[in-house]
Structure 1
Amino acid sequence: MPISTYVPHHPDHEVDAAHGYIQATVDAIADLGVPVSRAWLDPKGPVDATIVLDTQALVWDEWNGWRQGAYVSGQQGTRTVLGDAAPLGGGLLPVPARLARAVAHATLLPAWPRRRAGARDGLFDGLRGY
């Protein structure tokens, strides 16, 4: 049973730019029947977010995209620690429904190169689309 599928807004404007995308991803995962315990936006440098799925968690960040592993610890304002984390692929902003299907069916998306810190590549424009 989900505790909360609402992703709280973050007080930092740059971090909160990811809110819509992360909320859309949480909704897509929950819509497929995967229990979402909680989710939050994390500190910047890089901007990242966490979605906890019982004993597993997904972490997204602006440099690497999504990774999944055993949830060890974390909360809004601190970095999430995952055990045996593995990249999910699909680029920095895979479509939430596509990522949700990969999570629900335990599959990977195509690998994607790491984004450089400070890149001016339109990522935040893409985030604002959500």
Structure 2
Amino acid sequence: MAIRHVAPYTEEWLQQPASYVRQVIDVLGPEVADWWEGPSDPRDATLRLADGTALVWDEESGWRLGAFVSGGRGTHTELNGIRYLGHGLLPKPERVPSALNDARAGIGASSAWRPCYRSHRNCRDGFDVALDFYTRFIDA
């Protein structure tokens, strides 16, 4: 299998995280009331949850949970009371619900400390290859 590199800041590159996020949404099911992609720098996505909180993913820090303050399509989301879920940038979608429950309970790997696993400015660090795995998984 050949490694495929997507050119940064192209439409395909901007859309890359959506396949991974959609898999997480599928696992969370009806708990997700709405979702949208944010802008780049860093690329992110917001999942509005049925309980009024929001789960935000970005390409530097992974998933975080908090009370939704503001945000919408094409803008970065603002949260209060943030807890990072841990488990890296791309935890397997089926692991996100348990990490979310831990964050809600304030236990486990979740933390108020912001991890920084990578910089969004480093477009050639192999992260897009990991994202591409989820794109190919969906397309198969």
| TM-score category (smaller protein) | 0.7 to 0.9
Name the counterpart of 2:130: 126
Please give the per-residue CA displacement for 1:58-114, whole angstroms capped at 9, x wherever unaligned.
111111111110011211111111111121101010001001222245454477643
Distance in 2 (CA, whole Å) between partners of 1:25 and 1:51 is 10
Cα distance in structure 1, aligned partners of 2:101 and 2:90: 18
Count of residue correspondences: 117
Does structure 2 retain, via aligned residues, the 8 Å contact 1:70–1:82? yes
Aligned to 2:70: 73
- Paired position in structure 1 for 2:42: 46
Name stretches of at least 5 consecutive residues in structure 1 with no aligned partner: 1-10
| TM-score for the superposition, normalised by structure 2 | 0.74
Structure 2: unaligned runs, 5 residues or longer: 1-9, 135-140
Structure with higher Rg: it is 2
Q: Please report the TM-score for the alignment, with normalisation by the length of structure 1.
A: 0.79
Moved over 3 A (4+): 104-113
Aligned residue in 2 for 1:8: none
Which residue in the other structure is 1:61 paired with? Answer: 58
| C-alpha separation in 2, matches of 1:13 and 1:102 | 29
**Local SS of the residue matching 1:79:** coil
- Determine what percentage of the aligned residue pairs are the same residue: 37
